[in-house]
Structure 1
Amino acid sequence: MGSDAEKGVFVEEKAIAQGDFSLNTSDATPDEKALKTTKDGKHILVPQPSDDPEDPFNWSWKKKHAVLLSLTFAALLTDWGMTWGSTLFEAQAIYWNKSIPTIANTLSGGIFLQGPGGLLAVPLTQRYGRLPVLFWSQFLSCIVVIGAACSTSYAGFFACRTLQGFFNTAPQVIGLTIVHDMFFFHERTRKINIWGASYLIGPYLGPFIAGFLIQKISWQKDFGVLAAFYGFSTLLIIIFGDETLYDRDPAHRKPRPTGIKGRIELLTGIAGLRATGRPTVGTVFKDLAAMAWLPNIVVPAIWLFIVFIWAIGITTSVTQFVKPPPYLFTDTAVCLLFLAPFIGIVLGEIWGHFFNDWLCNTYLAKHKGIHSPENRLWAVWPLAIIGPCGLILYGQTLEHSLSWVGIAFGWGMGTFVMLASTTIVSAYVLDIYPGHAALTSSWLNFWKVLVAGGFIITYINPRWIARDGPGIAFGVQGAIMAVLFATIVATQVWGKAWRTRFHAPAAEN
């Protein structure tokens, strides 16, 4: 590695993983003050950028955010595309001559395969680059959604929806890596919050739009509109996307391809195939396996697991509660109800945009610029109250047929907690494993999507509610969430010791 790369890695790991390096110039040693800083001179840049203008850290603000735009819209469509059909169940049930619960199961296969799809995306991202994985994810998703709209059999429709989940999950896995590739430590949490908000808004904004469309057009044309969104996302990537994987070893660095031919090579992965010095797909799979059970990932991921499992359960079943008596919601009313979780996500974005940075900066000011990754997890504490209260409110409203306002507020509180928790835990694991952004993100996605959403909740929740009633079912869910907050406390107490005892593989790129 060259001196720039060595310095960058040194600052990244020493400042963040070990927590014994000043991030503020006012508290820095003479050697640290010699490093590159922000334009205002207040913060040391972590990691240190090279002198190469093609280094993503050196890109202009405009270019970085154009790339972020192409990423966030693709991430928006991840769960937007899967839950798009949740307000179309009634129309599809008539068309396929199936029950509504049977049609609802068409979501399960796609949600289930988002876990394996995310794991597969990581080796491809590390070997061939971020851009081609993002491009092919959106292009192939567009193709299978067209297939779903044109299906002449229920089995064909089910298969296309399942493949959709497998292909479209990449943006919510590799987004953490792309943020890490372009933005410095002091910028990352806000960018993670934007990326997280985009794919967490999707499950509610998608059905909101689809529900209005189904009142005017057939469900097949409704899916055609979804395919058009994927097509638009593909165009955004073609126009604004760029490869953020930068080979920091000068011995392996090649000039960036130029012209139309070069652009095609970057998008399709041909340029990545020709690159040298990158890990093989097999090596990345080996490193993935080595990180699968690191406690700093698994233990806080349990909190994400429980936050997501209940949120997915509400989203995939809410129409089954509000359309029958006593609520008798019309199609329009159901669509408008999806604004409640959307508002929860927006409020979570606003809250996280300021609170997480305030928490970090306050700690740095009190500890002479020394950063402690576990300090970030204090932001979860208020969520441990809001989340269970939201579930209890939702369940009691349904149990006693109270005003729909209780449904809206309970649902919105849950999505607020979901976004805020995702940002905090993602920022934490990126702090401690800065060289493994894609790997850690894939495992977080695996635990919160594969185990929770696809395999359990869409089958268990309706039966649980039918047996015990929504008051007990959602009350118990709230109690479980409160108990599992202990995983966050445990990470705060033992996280530093775990980092010392359990080591991640060497960084790949």
Structure 2
Amino acid sequence: MAEDFSKDEKVEVSADVESSIHHKAAETTSDGTYIVDTKLQDGNTDASSSEVKEVRTTKDGKTALIPQPSDDPADPLNWPWGKKHQVLVALTFSALLTDWGMTWGTTLFEAQAETWGMSIVDISNSLSGGIFLQGPGGVLAVPLVQRYGRLPVLFWSQVLSCIVVIGASQAPTYAGFTACRTLQGFFNTAPQVIGLTIIHDMFFFHERTRKINFWAFSFLVGPYLGPFIAGFLIQKINWRQDFGVLAAFHAFAVILIVLFGDETLYDRDHPENNVKVDGIVGKIKLLTGIVGLRATGRPTLKTVFKDLIAISYLPYLILPCSIFLLVVYLWAIGITTSVTQFIKPPPYLFSDTAAALLFLAPMIGVLCAEAWGHFFNDWLCNNYIKKHNGVYKPENRLFGCWPAVVFSVCSLVLYGQTLQHSLSWAGIAVGWGMNSFAMLAATTAISAYVLDCFPGHAALASSWVNFWRVVGGFVITYFNMKWVVHSGAAIAFGCQGAIVFAAFGSIIVVQLYGHKWRVIYPAPAAEN
């Protein structure tokens, strides 16, 4: 049984509130509003019924558990704290490798240019296909996640990523290398899609935001940690061996999944559909998807794909993702993929070591954002609940984007002015760090909002968050450097800051009209 609640500790709530908590597919009321704090003072609730029922709470009795766990120890909500976090570690290390793997080569462009006799700008285009396919790859993984389970998709994503990275390290031509890198992007994006649904499967409402923040931190620190390590390795080994090290990291991720991973998909409405496995053979069948293939009561691939399309154009999903989040990532990835082209030539003349060390700046920014989000997002939620007598509206999550837009705009202006006027490299470092802070702050806030709005479609909604996120990363490599060369860094990055500020309007619109839209355009019934 989970360590944070007890069967013996109860609170009394009205039947209307209790039903919204108990029903797996309806953690919200009919209008999409969460009933969170069921232990209301003076017995005051918004429900009209006087019938009282008991629900499970945290040990201190202050917070009702949403959703209510079943009596089955195999229910992921009932797993011990240690097991939940072992699964989370296996997930987050794989998520760490997603963008870590794609940006690993950004500090190796110069060495590859010598191998194939090409320009550094042309070599950098090898990233574009892989970054683009992270979007469709995540979307196409969702039906597999819902039908065959979370664990096999996570397992095969790392196995196949390891294979294609080995292929990239041995590719005799640039075309072959680019093909392997493109497939790498298609296969390795699954952990960024599965993350929200695994967190939803294992953790209660009041726990999720911190777990989302940690999971998002893992895949957002990756774009900087990967080149940081690769930049040091290239000074001692050649670029092919450098990619061999990346393949070894993916192999380690496979080992973590085998040792610590478990299937979090659990049908609480129909427990008879849950398949139990024992022993090594059972674990192998679970990892490879054989158990999921034989499982009954799960949606068909066609059903999931239909629901995937149905939620893709809902305004309260598409607006914050396709406008604000896309723009934030557009410029953030643009900085990451081009920074060495600014700091290695005059006037900065960074060595390979110095260039690698500069990647500490965005990592510090992401680390600060993780610490900030660890407390700020919970404070936002708890403060709103207290002020509204236990009623919670998901749109409150989006206030987490307000600090993000300030940091994003200021970072781009500082970065552009520093480059334009050849100011101290500290301006580059601080600007880049602020930008990465904004990226994680926005990602956590929007991901938490999306999970609140689509608790029964976590994987589906997450895939669209990932899709719009990587669309920006794909297109930026084709025009960012050309824009800077044509207009100058100050104008180019200043305009980018202005675009972020304008895109923030989409967040305000969703905060104003999101509740109304959720009533008018509800999500399809939950699949599992």
Same fold by TM-score greater than 0.5: yes
Which of the residues 463, 471, 477 maps onto 2:490? 471
- For the pair 1:296 / 2:310, whether they are aligned, the reply is no
Q: 1:8 corresponds to which letter in structure 2?
A: H
Residue 254 of structure 2 is aligned to residue 234 of structure 1: yes
The match for 1:405 is 426
**Residue equivalent to 1:187:** 207
TM-superposition CA deviations, 1:219-276 (whole Å, max 9, x none): 0110010000000000000000000000223364244111111000100000000001
For 1:310 and 1:420, how far apart are their aligned partners in 2?
15
Q: Secondary structure at the match of 2:240?
A: helix
Is the counterpart of residue 480 in structure 1 residue 494 in structure 2?
Answer: no
- What is the CA–CA distance in structure 2 between the aligned matches of 1:241 and 1:31, rounded to whole Å? 42
Deviation at residue 16 of structure 1 after TM alignment: 9.3
For residue 477 of structure 1, what is the amino acid of its counterpart?
A: Q
1:442 deviation in Å? 0.3
Deviations 1:156-207 (A, max 9, x none): 1111110000000000111000000000000000000000000000000000
Answer yes or no: is 1:156 the counterpart of 2:170. Answer: no
* Alignment-derived partner of residue 372 in structure 1: 393
Distance 1:283 1:336 in 2: 48
Q: Could you say if the C-alpha distance between residues 155 and 417 of structure 1 is closer, same or farther in structure 2, counting changes exceeding 3 Å?
A: same
Q: Which amino acid aligns with 2:404?
A: L
Structure-2 change in CA distance of 1:256 and 1:89 (3 Å): same
Structure-2 change in CA distance of 1:483 and 1:458 (3 Å):
same
Q: Does 1:97 align with 2:117?
A: yes
Q: Aligned pair in 2 of structure 1 residues 217, 448: CA closer, same or farther (>3 Å)?
A: same
Q: d(CA) in 2 for partners of 1:235 and 1:453?
A: 29
- CA 1:313–1:264 in 2, change beyond 3 Å: closer, same or farther? same
Q: How does 1:53-72 map to 2 (within 5 A)?
A: 53-72=73-92
The TM-score normalised by the length of structure 1 is 0.97
Whole-angstrom distance in 2 between the partners of 1:346 and 1:268:
34
Q: 1:251 to 1:419 in 2, by over 3 A?
A: closer
CA gap 1:259/1:411 in 2 versus in 1, 3 angstroms: same
Q: Give the CA deviation at 1:10.
A: 5.8
Counterpart check, 1:330 vs 2:351 = yes
Q: Which residue of 1 aligns with 2:130?
A: 110
Q: CA–CA distance in 2 between the matches of 1:255 and 1:138?
A: 24
Preserved contact between residue 211 and residue 331 of structure 1 (Cα < 8 Å): yes
Q: Specify the code of the residue in structure 1 equivalent to 2:434.
A: M
Q: Give 1:407-426 correspondences, 5 Å limit.
A: 407-426=428-447
8 A Cα contact 1:341 1:408, kept in partner: yes
Match of 1:458 in 2: 477
SS at 1:35's partner residue? strand
Report what 2:4 is aligned to: none
Gaps of 5+ in 2: 1-17
Equivalent pair of 1:16/1:371 in contact (CA under 8 Å): no
Which amino acid letter does the alignment assign opposite residue 407 of structure 1? I
Residues of 1 paired with 2:121 and 2:362: CA distance?
22
Measured in 2, the distance between the counterparts of 1:226 and 1:338 equals 17
Give, in whole Å, the separation in 2 of the partners of 1:74 and 1:507: 27
* Whole-Å separation in 2 of the counterparts to 1:380 and 1:6: 28
Unpaired segments of 5 or more residues in structure 1?
Answer: none
Identify which range, 15-24 or 338-347, moves more after superposition.
15-24
Deviation at 1:8, TM superposition (A): 3.1
**SS of match in other structure, 2:28:** helix
TM-score, normalising length: structure 2: 0.93
Letter in 2 for 1:139: V
Percent identical among aligned pairs is 65
Offset of 1:132 from its aligned partner? 0.2
2:407 to 386, 410, 418: 386
Once residues 465 and 340 of structure 1 are traced to their aligned partners in structure 2, the CA distance between those partners, rounded to angstroms, is: 22
Does the CA contact (< 8 Å) of 1:176 and 1:441 recur in 2?
A: yes
